[in-house]
Structure 1
Amino acid sequence: MYNTTCLDSIFICGCDSLTYIAKGHLPPTLRRLTIEYCKNIRTVLLEEDGINSTTSLLEDLHIGFCTSLESVTSSGELPATLKHLFICGCKTLESMAESFPHNSFLEFISITHCGNLKSLPRGIHGLSNLHKLVIESCPNLDPFPDGERELLPPNLRWLMIDEACEKMVHGIHNLASLQYLKISSIVSFPEEGFPTNITELVIKYLNITEALFEWGLHRLTSLRRLEIEGGCPHLVSFPTPKMMLPASLTSLRISSFPNLESLSSDGFRGLVSLEHLDVAECEKLTSFPMNDLPPSLLILQISKCPLLEERYKRDQGREWTKIAQIPCVEIDDRLTYREVYLGK
């Protein structure tokens, strides 16, 4: 392949005889390399003695479901030219590299479902070009090895983490550019709270939900989309008086609240910009706010809420008239009512 002077992308899938890729044999023009379902590959980029590796142009590296993978690179260094790094479903991978390269061009890192991964390369806080970071389902990971300072890249705009990356939560408040935040199964809430500039927040099965509500979601004055799944087993009404929601919200999804019985009129009254409401898996929920839903609402979705579905069934439910003015109503993935409208 080395003599191929115009090849810029290679995709290898299901090649069980592949155990490594010699970096020095890759085309010098290569920019994208994808390796998937190669169950015997152990090293993706192998440096061979006596073979000079050309200056790499590699920008995108995708590795998926390579179940024997032990290392990404034998040299311990990722290509300095990398912009996007995706690793998924590599259950034997313990380490990606020793450290991130200085002056790295990395913009997007996604590491998911790597159950044996124990550490990230050192120096993640120095990745000034990194805008998106996703780390999920890596239960044995320590994101800050060797006592490294718990700092995140300063220009992150998008962050998705779960309990293995709990240490990262305590540096979130410094991320002045952060817009999207998804956190799952975190057990401690940062004293400084979240950056108030985020526009989308997804929280799933948190043990810190009550602490988060006490801190005050209304402080997130730029928040447009909020999704809360689980983590509130004792909640019977949403939102509670202590749980003020920001007036900037245009989309709200709540799901997996096993004891939720009602949505609060007071809590929804201030949501003057709300356009999309999605309620799912709230088996005890029986009603929407007594004073009806915000007039700005354009889309209402109801799923796996049997009591609510019965009460608001089109032309049959006794409360149907309360939602009849909403342009689009979807119940259990069935479009119940729709008007032609232009979404914003």
Structure 2
Amino acid sequence: MNLDNFSKVSETTMMLRQEEEGFNNINMSTLEVLEISNWPKVGRLLLGGYNNFPSLRELRIWGCNVVDSLSFLESGFPNLRSLIVGNCVNLRSLTTNHIPHNLESLEITDCPCLESFPHANGNLPPNLIEVHISSWQQQLKPLSEWGLHRLTSLQKLESGGGYPDLVSFPHEYCLLPATLTTLIIKNLPNLVSISSKGLQNLTSLHHLVITYCSKLRSLPKEGLPSTLRSLQTSNCPLLKERCSEEDEGDYWPKIAHIPRVAIETNYFTYG
């Protein structure tokens, strides 16, 4: 990768932008945070190489609108903990086969053309703590094929978009890991119900957020997990009356045990 256009923010942080002049003497061995934005070259962006970034902990790739393919070379990021890819409107292929197993946070957002995501075949890094996948317009593979149940450290899952025909969350036969403490469901335009079967094993779930699911009308008949500390919804109009204490909604008895309930609010305080 050409590093001629790097801008130095601190001794351990670099940002690469199209319009900025670079630094020729960059110590890659101590770099901890790298941000690449507005990459000017059309086509494939290839990152890494043998021990190119031995100290890098966070990689952000943002607003690279002319990049259609993103690939990682083997052994380039041995200590990477966080990968963020966002607002890359023409990105179609993301090859992450060589991302280290000790990755803890994966966020992919606002990449509407993304079609190829190999880790969606059940090979996600096993030590992930947070996964954020949101605002995709393309149809994604069912969550049941992601291998989420094998992520024994996963605490936070955000799923938004990518399933325009989904009517019940989670997908049939999808087992979410019992370690989840925060679940965020959003941007599912045809979602009608939340499945009790999919949530029944979430014995550590503390925060549930549901937003932009305009057709959602049903919560689990058996109620939500007793461990919940907060339930927050936004832009789910069909749930508003059913969850209202003032209107004696039929769902209120099922959620009254939750310490913090915020229905149709845009102010979220989840963990």
Bin of the TM-score, shorter chain as denominator length = 0.7 to 0.9
Q: Tell me the alpha carbon deviations over residues 309-332 of structure 1, each in whole angstroms, 9 at most, x when there is no partner.
A: 121112312221111110001122
* Cα distance, 1:315–1:167 mapped onto 2, change above 3 Å: closer
Hey, what's the Cα distance between the residues in 1 that align with 2:132 and 2:226?
Answer: 25
Tell whether 2:127 aligns with 1:197.
yes
The answer for the alignment partner of 2:148 in structure 1 is 217
Give the stretch that moved more between structures: 271-280 or 232-241.
Answer: 232-241
The alpha-carbon distance between structure 1 residues 311 and 142, as it changes in their structure 2 partners (threshold 3 A), is closer
Q: Does 1:325 align with 2:253?
A: no
Is structure 2 residue 96 aligned with structure 1 residue 169? Answer: yes
- Alignment match, 1:155: 79
Partner letter of residue 325 of structure 1?
A: H
Q: Is the 8 A contact 2:94 2:116 kept in 1?
A: no
1:188 aligns with 2:112: no
Please state if 1:229 is matched with 2:152.
no
Larger radius of gyration: 1
The answer (yes or no) to whether the contact 1:96–1:121 under 8 Å persists in 2 is no
Q: Normalising by the residue count of structure 2, what TM-score does the alignment of the two structures yield?
A: 0.80
Query: What SS does the aligned partner of 2:145 have?
Result: helix
Secondary structure of the 1:126 match is coil
- Counterpart among 44, 50, 60 of residue 134 in structure 1: 60
For residues 150-182 of structure 1, what are the alpha-carbon distances to aligned partners after superposition, in whole Å with 9 as ceiling and x for unaligned?
65411100110145484442323xx12211111
Counterpart of 2:211 in structure 1 is: 280
User: Structure 1: which 5+ residue stretches go unaligned?
Assistant: 1-70, 336-342
Larger RCO, structures 1/2 (Cα 8 Å, 6+ apart): 2
Tell me, yes or no, if the aligned pair for 1:309 and 1:331 is still in contact at 8 Å: yes
CA contact (8 A) 1:252 1:276 kept: yes
CA RMSD, Structure 1 to Structure 2 (Å): 3.3
Name the structure with the higher helix share. 1
Q: Give distance in 2, aligned partners of 1:297 and 1:198.
A: 22
Give distance in 1, aligned partners of 2:238 and 2:158: 22
User: Contact conserved, 1:188 with 1:208, CA < 8 A, in 2?
Assistant: no
Summarize the Cα distance change of 1:141–1:95 in structure 2 as closer, same or farther, 3 Å threshold. farther
User: Secondary structure of the equivalent of 2:144?
Assistant: helix
CA separation of 1:122 and 1:170: change in aligned 2, threshold 3 A: closer
Q: CA deviation at 1:141?
A: 3.6
Mapping for residues 35-74 of structure 1, pairs under 5 Å: none
Quick one: which of 109, 114, 120 aligns to 2:34?
A: 109
- Where 1:203 maps in the other structure, the secondary structure is strand
The DSSP-based 3-state class of the residue aligned with 1:209 is coil
Q: CA deviation at 1:85?
A: 1.3
In structure 2, distance between residues paired with 1:211 and 1:284: 20
Matches within 5 A, 1:250-289: 250-289=181-220
One-letter amino acid of the structure 2 residue matched with residue 327 of structure 1: P
Other structure's SS at 2:241 match: helix
Q: Distance in 2 between matches of 1:101 and 1:294?
A: 51
Deviation at 1:302, TM superposition (A): 0.5
Is contact 2:13-2:31 (8 Å) kept? yes
SS of 1:218's partner is helix
Structure 1 segments of 4+ aligned residues over 4 angstroms from their partners: 76-79, 94-98, 100-103, 117-125, 142-145
Count residues with an aligned counterpart: 255
In 1: Cα distance, 2:70 partner to 2:217 partner: 46
Looking at structure 1, the residues matched to 220 and 47 of structure 2 have their Cα atoms a distance apart, in angstroms, of 50
- Give the 3-state SS of the residue equivalent to 2:125 in structure 1: coil
